[in-house]
Structure 1
């Protein structure tokens, strides 16, 4: 019997090693059917507390009806719906986004640390890509047309660019109510406080003067 217990223990330990639960888990499962976020609550937890009283209107949002303004240096606009601005999403483990693109508009390389993203092209022609982690750093890139789907795996660097000559529109679903978005140019060159030039000089093999130019361009 002791031997069986030892073997069972080893098997369970092996499963923990093979499947690191914290690393593969998405948002926690809800404990009730709905938990509309009380955005005015004083208590802050990992998410939002539930409103005491809810109505049908809590589960509808018009925030993605209008096109975003793409008159900016990137030529793109992301309108994101999450629990913080669509309280009915609270505890549901997902969020949604509308992305509008001017011709040539780009969503620069970035990551979502807490979510996998599925993107659907509504109109226009988009080139998308993501890069795997070390040691390979393999780039997977595709050109997408209306009706096409693509996936950006959790926490991998990815980008989107409108390669057509007209406005483009895509919709994205993400498996976290707060997926986060870390744009690499901002993370590296516009952090607060800034990453030291002694680090960036060596990382990019560039003189300090060039690093300062990049910082100014990103912040500008």
Structure 2
């Protein structure tokens, strides 16, 4: 009986560790499944395009060649190469983005609900960091120079701030074809419809007028 229980325990652990549900995106069961955005079928992901109609263009995206427009309040711009822009990523569990920062530009606190991010700084210098979950709310922060790499774990709030007087550029790889982005301030103060200001006043320990003033601002995603 003891040996049987030991076997069942090991089997249960292996099933848990090896379960596809542990991955950010499910593992593909074929060479590729190019996203077909023309169908009206809704699934958790995208329906596969007919392989006979797939071309090299489905695996190609030139959108990261050009700098993003940083003429905004934050002074930064993210250019995604997610499955919407690069259909060949469908089911492959990976995506990328280009991040441009004006001098002293900020990619404000945000998180990716479905993906871990690996950031490679190509130009300039950045102050980056992320905060752990509510058990500690510990800040991990670092100043990056050209060629440095930093990891932001999935679902944790993080930011990047250009501390230099010149433009900065980074490339990010993310562990999902569609990692999603939730910018904290935008989601909280710019939701549609608006969150009851009394709720936010109590949550952020602010007076009601301050919350209403924040909600009145124009919140746009970069």
Q: TM-score, normalised by structure 1?
A: 0.92
Q: Does residue 9 of the first structure (1) align with residue 11 of the second (2)?
A: no
Partner of 1:189: 189
Give the C-alpha shift of residue 22 in structure 1.
7.3
Gap regions ≥5 residues in structure 2: none
Alignment of 1:72-83 (within 5 A): 72-83=72-83
Task: State the alpha-carbon separation in 2 of the partners of residues 65 and 75 from structure 1.
Answer: 19
Contact (CA 8 Å) 1:189, 1:218: kept in 2 or not? no
Partner of 1:214: 214
Partner of 1:26: 24
Give the C-alpha shift of residue 18 in structure 1.
7.8
Partner of 1:104: 104
Task: State the alpha-carbon separation in 2 of the partners of residues 41 and 118 from structure 1.
Answer: 32
Partner of 1:41: 39
Give the C-alpha shift of residue 131 in structure 1.
0.5
Give the C-alpha shift of residue 17 in structure 1.
11
**CA displacement 1:27-85 (0-9 Å, x = unmatched):** 00011001111111121211111111211222111111111110011100100011111
1:12/1:196 Cα in 2 relative to 1: closer, same or farther (>3 Å)? Answer: farther
* Secondary structure in structure 1 of the residue aligned to 2:85: coil
* Secondary structure in structure 2 of the residue aligned to 1:210: helix
Give the C-alpha shift of residue 157 in structure 1.
0.5
Gap regions ≥5 residues in structure 1: none
Task: State the alpha-carbon separation in 2 of the partners of residues 125 and 115 from structure 1.
Answer: 24
Q: Does residue 166 of the first structure (1) align with residue 128 of the second (2)?
A: no
Contact (CA 8 Å) 1:104, 1:164: kept in 2 or not? yes
1:48/1:18 Cα in 2 relative to 1: closer, same or farther (>3 Å)? Answer: closer
**CA displacement 1:85-129 (0-9 Å, x = unmatched):** 111111110110001110011010001011000000010111100
**RMSD (Å) for aligned C-alpha atoms:** 2.0
Give the C-alpha shift of residue 19 in structure 1.
5.3
* Number of aligned positions between the proteins: 218
Task: State the alpha-carbon separation in 2 of the partners of residues 185 and 142 from structure 1.
Answer: 22
Give the C-alpha shift of residue 20 in structure 1.
10
Contact (CA 8 Å) 1:77, 1:101: kept in 2 or not? yes
Give the C-alpha shift of residue 5 in structure 1.
3.3
Instruction: Give every structure 1 segment of 4 or more consecutive aligned residues whose post-TM-superposition deviation is greater than 4 Å.
Output: 10-13, 16-23
* Secondary structure in structure 1 of the residue aligned to 2:217: helix
